[in-house]
Structures are given as structure tokens and as C-alpha cells.
Amino acid sequence: MKSVLVYLNNVQTHLITYGDPFQNNRTDVIICISGNPGVPDFYIEFASYLHTNTGLPVCVIGQAGHEKMPDQKSNQLQGQEHLFNLEGQVLHKLDLIHNHIEKKSKIHLIGHSIGCWMILEMLQKDELILQRLSSVNLLFPTLQKMSESKNGKLLNNILRPLHYFILLLFIIVYYLPESIRTYLAFSYLKLNSLPKHFSSRILKLCNPRVGEKILHLAYNEMDKVNLLNFAMIDKIKHLTRIIYNNRDNWVPPHCMNDLMQYQPLIAMKEVDIEHSFVLKSSEEVAEMAIDFITSKM
């Protein structure tokens, strides 16, 4: 595993790679696009399993601005909102593919949550990527009507009006002594039966500058992710697998019905796994993704 810092769409960005997705002698490459929050570290177990069991290079990209960067300008939201909203995040991922991934490689795209919506938008903006596309895994996708989901209503109706109070909480936690922040992280992990090594990942989210950009993107999702991109789904249906949970609190239950009309060309699998699968089910979901990837190689 390597951690790499690159500039994508004018934002310094942390990538996690396995193998070499940048210079790989034309082999296939797996690109994993995170959900929100978008910290690549949460996908380490998932990406490692993908690489070990396919032998393919893997690149994990999070969301621009969701980690504190050495470049201070990349941490600033004010005056740069366009870099951190949905549109900016899509351009961020396109920059990775166009200017960093080996140009002769075939691409296997994996999206998680809002990363799935971004994949559809990327392909719509640049259909040349379709010529390089071997497979698409959409994991617990949030593709439409996010504001109508259970968690979307909670975010819009309760948390969003409390925006400045939430930012204040980020600031308070950030300025607590490190020992107390670490204790709180360990307590959260123990309460949710999660491994202790997740603590460093959680602490990355406690930075107020990171927190405001996570919220900025989340509000934009509520406002913009409304209609399913039927045209793009139709173009990639034969290359696509969807893994979903009908009790996903980020997806209104009826939304999966719109995708089922594309079966059997589009592969769909219902699972009893939480939306945030990277916390407890990384290898299980990776195994399902691998099955589909290898079938398209």
C-alpha cells in the first residue's frame, strides 16, 4: 500500500494505491470512489482485499477537502465552494482518470454511496471513458431522491438548520486535548464493536475545516440528487452490478424498483449489510465486487 499526494482539480488530494495504477503496462485498473465522508483510509481493508485477490492495481480516491492537507489553500472552503460541491467532486475524479491513471488501461469503477452518482455524472461528462470501461460496481448507491430518504429527512429538517451549532461542536472537539479526543474515539469504537485501529481514521474527521466541507457536500447532495440518470444507466447496464440493502436509510425503498427494469442486463444483489459497509463488511463486499470484475475481464 502507498499513500500518494497529488493535485486534482486544484485540490491537494490523498490517494491510496495498491500496485501501480499510474504506470502498469496496460493492465486493468480498479478505481474506487468513496462516499461522504470521503476519507480513503476507511477503504484500506476493502482495497487490500481487491488487490490481493485480483492482482490488479487499485486506486482509492476520497472526496476533495475531506482530509487536512499540507497545502493550506486546499483546506479552505470560503471562496472555493465550487471545488467541493458535487460538480467539483466529479471534476476531481475526472482529473484523476485523465491525467494520472495509465491511459491505455481498462478501468473497473467502484462507487460507494454518492460515489455511485458521481460515476454516472463522470461518464455523462466524458463518454470517451466508456471506451475504457470494463465494469462498474455500484455499492449501496444513492442515485436519486436522497432528500426523501430517512437519513436525508433527518439531515435536511433537523441537522441543516443547526449548521453553525454543528460547526461549533467540531471546533470544541478539535481543541480538546488529544488524549480526550482519542478516548472519545475509542469509546465510540467500543460502543459500535469496531476495531481500535479505526481511531486514527475517525480523528481525521474531527477537523472543523474538514467538517464544514463534509456538510457542504451533504447539503448539495440533498439539493441536487433528485432524478435518476436513466440515459447513462441504459448505456452501462451490461457492465454494471448493483449491491444494495432495501433497508438502507440513505435510499428511499421504492428507488431500487426503477433500476430493476434493467434486469437481467444489469446485475442486482440485495444484501443484509449496512450502508457504511467499510466499517464491518469490507471483505464480504469486496468478494462480491471481485466476482463481477473477474467476469468482465
Please list the active-site residues. 113, 248, 275
Identify the H or E element spanning 282. Answer: helix 282-295
Decide if 105 contacts 46 (C-beta within 8 A): no
Residue 49 is classified by DSSP as: H
CA angle 214, 278, 192 (to 5 degrees): 90
Question: Are 63 and 34 within 8 A, CB to CB?
Answer: yes
Identify whether the C-beta of residue 186 lies closer than 8 Å to the C-beta of residue 196: yes
Spatial separation of the C-alpha atoms in residues 55 and 48, rounded to whole Å: 10
For 131-170, strand residue ranges (E) read: 133-139
- Quickly tell me which residue has 430493476 as its cell: 260
